[in-house]
Structure 1
Amino acid sequence: MALLHTHGILGLNARNLLYIKPFNPKKAVAFADDKLKTKMFLGSRGIPVAKVYARIENRRQIRDFDFSSLPSECVLKPNEGYGGEGILVLRGRRNGIFLENGKMPVTERELRNHMEDILDGKYSLSGHRDMAFFEQILVAHDCFARLRPAGLPDLRIIVFNLVPVMAMLRIPTAESGGKANVHLGGIGIGVDIAKGVTTHAVQYNRLIKALPHGGSPAGIPIPFWDEILLISSRIQHITNIGYIAVDITIDRDMGPTLLEVNARAGLMVQVANLAPLRSRLERVTGLKVSSPEKGVRLGQELFGEKRTQHSEEKSPPVLGTRETIAVSGDGGTVEIAARIDPDQQRSTFSSDLVTELLERGMLEATAEGNTYRVKFTLGGKKVQTAVESAAVQGPERAIIGRRDLSGFLIDPLRTDTPSTRIRYRPLAPSGTQTCESLRRTATRRARRWI
């Protein structure tokens, strides 16, 4: 810990007096502690959250609960739990009996007893009566495979004044019982705010050079990084919790997904980053930040590790709420006006547009029926994705959802309105122009339309 200077480090007393007390009123703290209320509130406002299968509020509901109504894989949680305590991860059944973490059988009687403990407040942060709920189990994204986690990893983002100031990747281990909590023996890995790349790692309050399997914790890129920062800043903007920690995981199917918010987060994040948190908080105190998008941009500019002059990495493109996409195919390029909507998960093309693009050979049907694979250019970036066919309200014929907005920043004040007329540009008849040059031409045209 000698690498950390005492100046600028945030201690518990300073955190409580300088940031929690003035910026997190009791009502906001109580809201953050209520996981179900928080998820329902944020989920209805476009923040991706896991599905809740059932909630248990009293002993009669425990007595009458039908466990066969649950899927084979789910998570039982206390609503106001803390530190990962009281959570049961149920993976599969054997002879109709749930298996904890896919191994140890848990009978219905044991589950009912555990639910009673939750209702009695055994795992509650305040010690008061609580409620239990069963939730969708999330599956770790493939990007975490090289870390060999013993459970579901997550990212903790500290946000203050709409600015993401520090971040940490938390890795569950066998010592932590498969939970991502660092104080239980999980591994905390600092993340460079600008690049979304891991830096230093800590376990049991000590810096470590290697992960348990021998791999290096440094230099691992986190996908969807800009989207994760933007979700975190948006959550603070929506909840008005002034000093907040947002815990997000990356699900294999859903992408970035909110786990919970915390109004009194621990301070191990500054050890994992070898950087003092208080200095960063002081640097953004009093700044006028008008939107989450600007908060993300500011955080990356202020707190990202300095890039070399020869770095090929570019700033993420900034999109307005309406843009033009260029859909590419063997026969040419189609330029289409699209609405940018991060509140919608998957991108959508109107039914007539899908028909037209199928005729041109620019879409490929999938096994899901109304879903199609497509390649298009947006803001100078190539996107390969699957879109749904559905009705699209408004003058645009396409909606780009948050799954395809990773790597972009969105400026809601940007009001450029592209033409709603579709333009088709066929390939040049001469054989002198290469496919690569055609792609570059399509990209330049799309930019001019934007």
Structure 2
Amino acid sequence: MTGAALSSTPVTGELSRDGHLLRADDRLTKLHAGAGGTRGGIIACPALFGLVQIVSRLQMRLARALIVSDGTDNFELWVEAEPAGENVRIAILSWRSKTARNPDPSAKLPWASVMDETMTLNFDQALRLVRATGPVGDVIHQEDFGCGARHVVTRLLGDTGDIYLRDMEKFTAIGRSSTGLNTNNDTLLWGEPETSSSGEYTGYALYISSAPTGASVGYKRSQLVDPAFVFGKNLTPILHRPLSRIIANADTIGNELLGPVRYNYATYARDISNAARHLTALVEDLGDLEAVERPGFTTAPDRIELGDMARRVAGLLALKAADHSINVKVPDEAMQVNATAEFRRVLQILLNLVTNAIRYAPDGTEVSLDIRAEPDWSIISVSDQGSGVCAADRERIFVKFERLGRSGDGGSGLGLYISRRLARAMGGDLTVGDAEGGGAIFTLRLPR
């Protein structure tokens, strides 16, 4: 199965609230079958199953970047899911292949009798051993290649390996610790997840080093764990699950889905849900911050249409706008402006801009998304009818953690900073100015 950068026609399907695949396009059917699923059975891709469970519980439309496997290849999908009565409808808008590297069975391995320097074991996204470098000696066998981490680590470390496997399977960094791999020497083991330039997990690197007792062992900077990396890439996915459960349970109580409760209890539950959503947004911001500040961060170019992007954002934020009686105006469907930029990142920027406009514009006003084409640029702008941004603050507003003196409004001061970094990583820019008739206008320029 091959993957396209962006599906011209979405791949669609419908699942029951408990994850059974009720209907699917051919491509989704093949993915399900390749991953071991049966006709009408529970979807065989855990990431899709998890998204369906969340949408079913929250009864909200959600969009996520997911990584799935058909048993042979890995794929990165951008999926939109929405409630459909008792079921959940999904649309896969982006389908990019992330094929695992296959080891060369004829490769010659560097054999050694003693480990006196660092050995590196590289596992792919499915935690299969694909490469071993350094003095592997009698530690790694040819038949280990292609095997899962559980097989390799258990063979090397026995029952002790379970401690490390738990971290590897969660793509969590392993701090340096002693192992029983070599009784004659002090053996140290540590590891860290590997990521792509866009911050997605691509595999795991496990390091093993042995040296005489008391001798110092040198480590490369890349083998040390950066605290920002630990939070951005390790705690972010770990925190998402409990926060999602808090939101789901609080919404169940607050909306009285399981029966009536006292009014003040329902109010408390809604407060808990809102606080958990706020914390979720902060966690996502910190994860994005780590990604965009990583040296060499790049984005994947897709062919996108800005009018379509505007309408998607308006749909995703329709309920939030309705809560404030704000009308979100979008371009006419007949007007099209194409651009070259990563679909997921442009959607992220626009969601941030429109959310801010709804948050700070007066109730009952209008937020407009407009598109136009220039010789070198494709442009989409978001304007509101609020108080605007004074000239002195138009660069300051893009500074990390800057909130222009606002407090208690739920913002982190990271959204605009991250959005501008993403825009520039895609070869464009994000600026702010005065909207016609008052208010602020944020302009996103992207390469044509």
TM-score class, shorter-chain normalisation, is under 0.3
**More RCO (CA 8 Å, sep 6+):** 1
Could you tell me the TM-score, scaled by structure 2's length? 0.27
